[in-house]
Chains A and B, each alone.
Chain A
């Protein structure tokens, strides 16, 4: 199995963004990197100047690079942006919305986890029209993952294996709303929360994480104990979603666990140290509430 670094979902400062990817290029055992701002079109200009050099550095390091498209496309400038991305991207585009997919039909492309692929027929339809890679939606249970991967040849299937889980997208910016601002006049308040802003229940239990127009889980997806199952199912890659932690270390732990150089219990202990701010979850994979977590070493009968 390969490792993919998913697109950075949060609003990091541009220089930190660039340096993060430089280090990935130089040090991380990652095969594929998806670049690009996919959550909020207002953030797009910040990274534009660094994008060519980051892309080049990653490619020079032997990484396959993809450019991800916006999850929600409504404004005219967003529509122009995705049309241009599809027309001019020097690398394969990962479509996160049918708006972008419409521009890619008939050409090789990737399908991101925000396009609904819940069954074999949909995967087959997309594969026949140029989808080469499909990252399945995070809420899919293992039975669905396994059935879809078995039914469609010539597509590299991928699952969301690490990071806070994207759960929803809205036209409304919750980050701006929390600061008494509107989306149009947001002052980019999301830049203060590099891993998202934690939303708690009234019992003060951390619950979700706010990232502008996107809502994620507070808990961090972790399929390190499921790697052998995924391999058996024929899954081609695991997606690691960037958090503000040592993602090189995260990728090395996953690589080592995939290659059975460390066992899942040890891998988990190390992962907890690398990303200590949120507990893990793997409930979606096991057909449970997504927030649930089955510890490594515990096998249901």
Chain B
């Protein structure tokens, strides 16, 4: 199984390669990619240099152009495709049907991956992308149990890539407008979720209140660490329930499922976190490289020691475990 690692900066990119990534995924510093945060991502020149760095060390580069092009402005997304192909990207990670059509027609030899943002969660959906655009790999949405992942891999339509560590969307990716309902900015259109530009913190009595746009997302007592107000990880009230109604502040950690995922026939394992710094990337990539080495030699998976790096210092196996639903 390949280890696919995130990079939001050239420094993080080099760290990921040096720490043992088989491939690094990254994007241009504009709204064409789904982690369009200020100060993050790659200029054209940085992308060229990153590709050279990776290729000199036997690693591959997957360029994510995985937002949905805005009507009347598709040229910016097509320019990103043209440039990534021109620089020698090993694969493009795409979500939009129109952009896939453009790329498959203009660059029939270019390797295409279906982004998690395309929400291809069944063999039939994957068959659509394989038939229409000859895609070579699908990044599976975080809605599937391990047996469902195995059934998709068994169908053998194309390679499968699954998330194993990092931030966890509770909602199916690519089909969520919660952020734009509050802020006008969405993952699909702008490459951002719950953007910092719309976050405010206010002291109220003994509490710190976090808001996204006009809505209160959470409230913390003085001693409590204040988590970032990602909408679906907020505290709300419904009926007699108050609390983390969609999901607790947890991260995905599927390290314990590596043997099952290999058994399932998964081709590649993906670490989330293009917004993360070098130290984080280094520790997480090295831990999973060690785990994969152990797996390949038939040894027990060593404990990753990653808990300190996770959101709320708590982890879940998410939808991989059927009872999460």
Contact partner of A172 among B74, B218, B219, B319, CB < 8 A?
B319
Is A277 an interface residue, CB under 8 A from the partner? Answer: no
Is B308 an interface residue, CB under 8 A from the partner? Answer: no
Q: How far is the CA of A287 from the CA of B71 in the complex (A)?
A: 13
Contact partner of A121 among B69, B178, B188, B232, CB < 8 A?
B69
Residues on A with C-beta less than 8 A from B131 are 102, 105
Instruction: Kindly state the interface size class of chain B when it binds its partner.
Output: 35 or more
Is A243 an interface residue, CB under 8 A from the partner? Answer: no
Check A171–B319 contact: CB distance below 8 A: yes
Residues on B with C-beta less than 8 A from A105 are 128, 131
Residues on A with C-beta less than 8 A from B97 are 116, 121-122, 125-126
Is B57 an interface residue, CB under 8 A from the partner? Answer: no
Q: How far is the CA of A46 from the CA of B71 in the complex (A)?
A: 40
Within 8 A of A (CB), among B178-198: 178, 180-184, 186, 188-189
Check B151–A102 contact: CB distance below 8 A: no
Is B242 an interface residue, CB under 8 A from the partner? Answer: yes
Contact partner of B242 among A144, A173, A183, A202, CB < 8 A?
A202
Within 8 A of B (CB), among A250-301: 283-284, 287-292
Residues on A with C-beta less than 8 A from B71 are 118-120, 140, 143-144, 147-148, 151
Q: How far is the CA of A125 from the CA of B141 in the complex (A)?
A: 23
Q: How far is the CA of A72 from the CA of B141 in the complex (A)?
A: 11
Check A289–B181 contact: CB distance below 8 A: yes
Would you give the shortest CB distance from B258 to chain A, in whole angstroms?
21
Contact partner of A210 among B118, B148, B238, CB < 8 A?
B238
Would you give the shortest CB distance from A85 to chain B, in whole angstroms?
12
Check A101–B128 contact: CB distance below 8 A: yes
Is B239 an interface residue, CB under 8 A from the partner? Answer: yes
Is A165 an interface residue, CB under 8 A from the partner? Answer: yes
Closest to A103 in B: B124
Using a Cβ–Cβ cut-off of 8 Å, how many residues does chain A contribute to the interface with B? 74
Contact partner of B176 among A99, A165, A168, A177, CB < 8 A?
A168
A interface footprint on B43-78 (CB within 8 Å = 1, 0 otherwise): 000000000000000000000000011111010000
Check A119–B238 contact: CB distance below 8 A: no
The segment from B2-10, B85-93, B208-216 that touches chain A is B208-216
Residues on A with C-beta less than 8 A from B120 are 98
The segment from B13-21, B98-106, B159-167, B278-286 that touches chain A is B98-106
Q: How far is the CA of A116 from the CA of B245 in the complex (A)?
A: 27
Is A215 an interface residue, CB under 8 A from the partner? Answer: yes
Which residue among A100, A202, A205 has the maximum number of chain B CB atoms within 10 Å of its CB? A202
Is A225 an interface residue, CB under 8 A from the partner? Answer: no
Evaluate whether A217 and B216 lie within 8 angstroms (CB atoms) in the complex, with A169-B172, A199-B236 already known: no
Contact partner of B238 among A123, A170, A199, CB < 8 A?
A199
Check A171–B238 contact: CB distance below 8 A: no
Q: List, sorted by A's number, 25 A–B pairs whose CB atoms are closer than 8 Å.
A: A74-B121, A74-B122, A75-B148, A79-B123, A98-B118, A102-B127, A116-B97, A124-B98, A126-B97, A137-B188, A143-B72, A167-B177, A167-B178, A171-B144, A173-B325, A184-B322, A184-B325, A197-B238, A199-B237, A201-B215, A202-B209, A217-B181, A287-B184, A289-B213, A291-B215
